Amino acid sequence: MKKKHKVSSKNKIKILKIEKKELSLKYKKILIKIEKLNKEILEKKINIKKNLERNIKRLNLEIENSYKFSLEKIILDVIPILDSLEIAIKLKNNIKNIIVKNFLIELENVLESFIKILSKFKIFEIKEINVKFNPNIHQAISVSYSKKIANDLVINIVQKGYLLYDRLLRPAMVVVNKKLN
């Protein structure tokens, strides 16, 4: 028969204390690992949220711009028609025939309706005179020289320009004054 080794109570307590310390140390290491993983997960959540917000913002801006500027090509095709209407309407004062004159008055009403529709869709005419020349919206096609008028002032619009929101569709063709000294 084999002899059984008896472990004393003191030794059992020592062994249990050692095992307890080892388990406690393992537990602390696991807690530290869990805390580290939780931090990583939180950082990843924050990064994912930031990326998602940035992508949503970018997509919303793209959608907004697509909506805003979807009319651009159509309007660029309509602008020459508006120019033709304006030229025809300018002739009405020189026309003696009442039928033709009335027709031109009706054309003027059509043009005004067009302009109202354009402004409804945030398309604005560049037609102001006596304003400082702005190369972002004006194209100088002629220069006038005068001592009485301020330098770089738009004194005549040869052809209206158009803006769609803040995007230039066509610059206004203008005459600019250069002041003589």
With a pLDDT cut of 70, the percent of the chain lying above it is 96
Mean pLDDT score of the chain: 91
User: What residue type is 156 in one-letter code?
Assistant: N
d(CA 45, CA 49): 6
Q: pLDDT tens for residues 43-55? A: 999 999 999 999 9
pLDDT at 1 over 70: no
CA 92 to chain centre: 42
pLDDT score at 3: 55
Average pLDDT estimate for 52-78? 91
The pTM of the full predicted model, rounded to 2 decimals, is 0.67
Instruction: Kindly report the three-state secondary structure assignment for every residue of the chain.
Output: CCCCCCCCHHHHHHHHHHHHHHHHHHHHHHHHHHHHHHHHHHHHHHHHHHHHHHHHHHHHHHHHHHHHHCCHHHHHHHHHHHHHHHHHHHHHHHCCCHHHHHHHHHHHHHHHHHHHHHHHCCEEEECCCCCECCCCCEEEEEEEEECCCCCCEEEEEEECEEEECCEEEECEEEEEEEECC
Q: pLDDT tens for residues 140-159? A: 999 999 888 889 999 999 99
